[in-house]
Amino acid sequence: MPVIKGTKNFEHGRTPKVGVLLCNLGTPKAPTTAAVKKYLAEFLSDNRVVELSKLLWLPILHGIILNTRPRKSAKAYKSIWTDHGSPLLVFSERILDKLRKKFEGPNSTNLVFSLGMRYGEPSIQKAIKDLQQQNIRKILVLPLYPQYASATTASVYDAVFDYFKTQRWIPELRFTSDYHNNPLYISAVAESIRSQWKSGNKGQHLLFSFHGIPKDTFLAGDPYHCQCFATTRMVAEELGLTDREWTLTFQSRFGPKQWLEPYTDKTLEKLGSAGIKNVDIVCPGFAVDCLETLEEISILNQNLFREHGGDRINYIAALNDSTEQINLLYDILERHLSNWDDPPDKRLLEKSAERALKAGASK
C-alpha cells in the first residue's frame, strides 16, 4: 500500500492560495543520445502513448527502440536546439512568465504559477510540490493542448492524480480540457497566417498539419480528430478560404498501426508531383514550436517536398509567447478562476486553528 505523505509541522493558520499549473509535453534535458534515451524511455512507457500490453511492449521498447532511436532523435534535437535550450521549454517558460506578469495586481497576491512537463523536467510532480510549499489549496491545471487527446491531455490528468494518491491533504482541483474552438484561439491562428501572407510569402496551398493519433483510438471514441477538423474549418472560415484552398493533414506517425489520414508527408509528395511549388503549413495543435514543427516540418518535410518537385514550404510559426497567445490563455484562466480565487479571511483561519489546538490540548 502507498504511504500517505503529509507536511511536517504544517502551519494550519497560513493563508491558503490558488495555484495555476501549466503543463506541456516535455523535452530531453540536452540534445544527446543519453538524455534523449532517458526521455523516450519515460515517454514511450506511458500506456496513454502506446496502448499495448506492457508484457508485449516493454521488451520491444528496451530491447530494440531505445537502442536505435535515441541516436537519430538526438541529432534531430541538436538541429533545433537554441542557446537557451529546448524551444518547447523556452517558449513554455516565457508563457508562464508573461501570464504571471499579466495577472499581477492587488487581487492576485494569492495566485501562484508553476510549470510542469509530462515527461522530463521540470516534472508535473515537482511543479505540484512547489505549489504545495506555498500553501496552495486550489489548483487549476491547464494543459497546453488546444485539442483534447487521450495521449496528451488525459495523460496530464493521470500524472496529477498519480501524485495526489499519496498526499494527505488533496487540494481542490480544476482541469481545462481543450480550447479548440475558443474564438480568441481561432482568431490568433488566423492572424498568424495573415501575417505570413502580408509578408509577401503566400503559397499556392495551405496545409493544416496536426500531430496524428492511431486510427483505432479515434474509432474507440477519442475526440481529437473531430476537434482538429472543427478548429481547421473555423480558421478557414475566418480567413474566407474555400475548401479547395486548404487541406487538413496529420504528421508524426509512429509504429506499424494505421494513423489518421491524410498524412502530411504523403500530401506534400502529391502536391509537389502535381506542380505545386510553394506551400504554407501551419500546425495549430502545437501551442509552441518544438521538434515536430521545427525539424519534422521545416527540415525533413521541406527536403521531401523539394525531392518531389516542390520549391518552398513556408512554415507559419506556432503562437508561442505572442501577445495573442498570452491574451488567449489569460482569458481561459480568468474564466476558470472567476469566483474561485478568494481565500477565506485570514483572521478566521487563525481563530479556527487556535480553537482546534485548544480542543486538542484539553483532551
What is the mean pLDDT of the segment spanning 120-149?
96
**What whole-number distance in Å separates Cα of residue 94 and Cα of residue 98?**
6
**What whole-number distance in Å separates Cα of residue 233 and Cα of residue 81?**
33
| 346 has a pLDDT exceeding 60 | no
Looking at the chain, the whole-number percentage of residues with pLDDT higher than 90 is: 85
| 361 has a pLDDT exceeding 90 | no
pLDDT at 345: 47
Average pLDDT, the chain: 93
pLDDT confidence band for 14 (50 / 70 / 90): confident
| 196 has a pLDDT exceeding 70 | yes
pLDDT at 354: 64
What is the mean pLDDT of the segment spanning 45-61?
96
Provide the b/e sequence for 78-95 (b: ≥16 CB within 10 Å): eebbeeeebbbbbbbbbb
- Cα dist from 149 to 7, 39, 53, 329, whole Å: 34, 20, 20, 19
pLDDT at 106: 63
pLDDT at 293: 98
What is the mean pLDDT of the segment spanning 122-142?
96
Query: How many CB atoms sit inside 10 A of residue 11's CB?
Result: 8
Query: How many CB atoms sit inside 10 A of residue 53's CB?
Result: 8
pLDDT at 262: 98
pLDDT confidence band for 358 (50 / 70 / 90): low
pLDDT at 200: 86
**What whole-number distance in Å separates Cα of residue 180 and Cα of residue 210?**
12
| 10 has a pLDDT exceeding 80 | no
In this predicted structure, which of 4-8, 54-58, 171-175, 248-252 has the lowest mean pLDDT? 4-8
pLDDT at 348: 45
pLDDT tens string 83-101: 999 999 999 999 999 999 9
DSSP category for residue 143: E
On the CB side of 187, CA atoms within 13 Å amount to 7
SS (H, E, C) 236-257: HHHHCCCHHHEEEEEECCCCCC
What is the mean pLDDT of the segment spanning 235-245?
98
pLDDT confidence band for 191 (50 / 70 / 90): very high
Q: Is 203 exposed, middle or buried (0-12, 13-18, 19+ CB in 10 A)?
A: buried
DSSP category for residue 299: I
On the CB side of 47, CA atoms within 13 Å amount to 7
| pTM of the predicted protein model | 0.91
Enter the C-alpha cell of residue 168: 494527505
| 356 has a pLDDT exceeding 80 | no
| 113 has a pLDDT exceeding 80 | yes
| 238 has a pLDDT exceeding 50 | yes
Query: How many CB atoms sit inside 10 A of residue 197's CB?
Result: 15
pLDDT at 344: 47
| 172 has a pLDDT exceeding 60 | yes
pLDDT tens string 246-305: 999 999 998 888 999 999 999 999 999 999 999 999 999 999 999 999 999 999 999 999
Q: Which domains does the chain have, with CATH numbers?
A: 17-178+322-347 (3.40.50.1400), 183-316 (3.40.50.1400)
Between 109 and 209, name the one with better pLDDT. 209
Q: Is 193 exposed, middle or buried (0-12, 13-18, 19+ CB in 10 A)?
A: buried
pLDDT at 12: 78
3-state secondary structure of 91: helix
pLDDT at 209: 98
Listed in order, strand segments (DSSP E) in 98-224 are 111-120, 136-143, 172-175, 205-211
